Structure formats: C-alpha cells, structure tokens
Amino acid sequence: MQTGECKKNRTKSIKKATKMSKQVLLEQLSLAVLNIDETAGVTAIENALSEGLSPVEIIEKGLSVGMLEIGSRFENGEIFLPQVMMAASVMNKLVDKVKKDIPATEKKEGIAKVVLGTVEGDVHDIGKNIVKILLQANGFEVYDLGRDALLTSFVEKVKEIDADIVASSALMTGTMQGQAALEEMLKEAGIRDKVKTMVGGAPCTEHWAKKIGADAYAENASEAVTKAREMLKA
C-alpha cells in the first residue's frame, strides 16, 4: 500500500514526464515543417492528438514555431525562396489536417485580416510575396493587392473586409512617400483608428515608421509576422 508521500512523489513524476513528452511532441511538429516533411508531420500530429494536445496547441506551439524558424533562416541566407515555398505548402497541408479536429467554438477563419501590397509606382514584390507566404502560413487572412497598388485600393479593401492590419511595402526612396500618404488617406476615410499599419521595404526604417505615424516597421518577413502578432495584442 502506497503512503501519501509516495503517491505525491509518483504524481509529480508523472506530471514531469507528461510535460517532457509534450515538449518532445511540439518539437517533432516544428521539425516536420523545418525538414519539409509532410509524412513526418502527419505522424507528429497523430501522436500529439493521441497524447491530448489540442489542435490549437499543435498549430500555434508546434507547426507555427517551425514556420517562423524557416522565415528566420531565409532572412539569414541559410535557405532560399523555393525551400520557403515548399515549407509553407507543407505547413498549410498540415494545418488543414488539424483544423477538422478544432471544436466549432474555437474555429476561426484566421488570426486577423491583413491588407498587403507594394505601393503605387513600385513594381518590386519579391519581399512582399515572402511576407504573404509567412503570414498565411501562420494563420493570417491575407488580401494581396499586388505591386504598384493604388493607395485608394488599400483604403477600399480595408473598408470592404474590415481589415485588422494594413501592410505596405516600398522598395524605392521615391515611393516611400506613398506609405506616408496612405496614413493620411486612412485618417481622411475615418478608419485609421480602426486598423493597425505596418511598413517595410529596403529604404524603410523604424524612424520612418514613427515619422509617418505607422504602428510598426518590419525589417524582414519573419519580423513582419512577429510584429503583426504584437499589434493584435496591443
């Protein structure tokens, strides 16, 4: 017959083991995305669900962690665009497999709605496209206006979908003013206080974002995801 102290110690051991097991499961999920291995991801998801992890945990604390690391490695030059796109494809397929197990009360179309585009007069879009891929892979609903997007299109789309974030890219010093003009147009439309704004692009800086009144500046795609999440909590 076990004493009260023995039972207490055994319970502690079980809790510790469960905690370690959970961490291992989350790491397996993250690694599946990092290794661009859908098969491993499916197995990791099945294991995680059987051990009691919730679908939301699997996505937010497992798969998303791997995708964010993919973004960081891309920005550091460790991997290239094709690998990012393949990882995003695997991520999206794995998320789709998990979504069906999310209780109806917890389901949502996305973390937030983001209007994204390269401002008018600027035809560069590679960086913007990477931002789109990472935002989508991390659960955001992204409405991409493409490159050389009219500023009025940003405003109209924000109104149409009731966007949470507007992210504008400018890759030339001559088109940066479009980001400043967008801030004013959102104010004139009476919706600036209803939406967060984020700017990015080679010539942009934190100072520039503050100068024009933007809520955030992202130096790269992975940081854009981080900043987007931070703005939602503000």
Task: Identify the pLDDT of residue 13.
Answer: 41
Over residues 191-215, mean pLDDT: 97
Closest CA to 160 of 175, 145, 176, 182: 145
The pLDDT-based confidence of 57 (bands split at 50, 70, 90) is confident
Quote the CA–CA distance of 144 and 223 in Å, as a whole number: 18
What contacts 130, CB < 8 A, 6 or more positions away? 71, 74, 81, 84, 221
Question: What's the fold here for domain 113-233?
Answer: Rossmann fold (3.40.50)
pLDDT at 60 (0 to 100)? 79
Q: What is the pLDDT of residue 143?
A: 97
Q: Which helix (H) or strand (E) element contains residue 113?
A: strand 113-118
**Residue 169 scores a pLDDT above 80:** yes
DSSP 78: S
DSSP code of residue 63: I
Structure tokens at 24: 């291992």
Please give the residue that has the higher pLDDT: either 191 or 15. Answer: 191
Is residue 44 over pLDDT 90? yes
pLDDT averaged over every residue in the chain: 87
Mean pLDDT of all residues in 36-44: 96
pLDDT greater than 80 at residue 65:
yes
By the 8 A CB rule, do 67 and 36 touch? Answer: no
Domain locations along the chain: 11-102, 113-233
Q: Are both 11-102 and 113-233 of the same fold? A: no
Inform me whether the pLDDT recorded for 182 exceeds 90: yes
> What percent of the chain is helix, strand and coil (3-state, nearest 5)?
65, 10, 25
* 117-132: b (≥16 Cβ within 10 Å) or e: bbbbbbebbebbbbbb
CATH number of 11-102: 1.10.1240.10
Q: What percent of the chain has pLDDT over 90?
A: 62
Using pLDDT thresholds of 50, 70 and 90, give the confidence band for residue 107.
Answer: very low
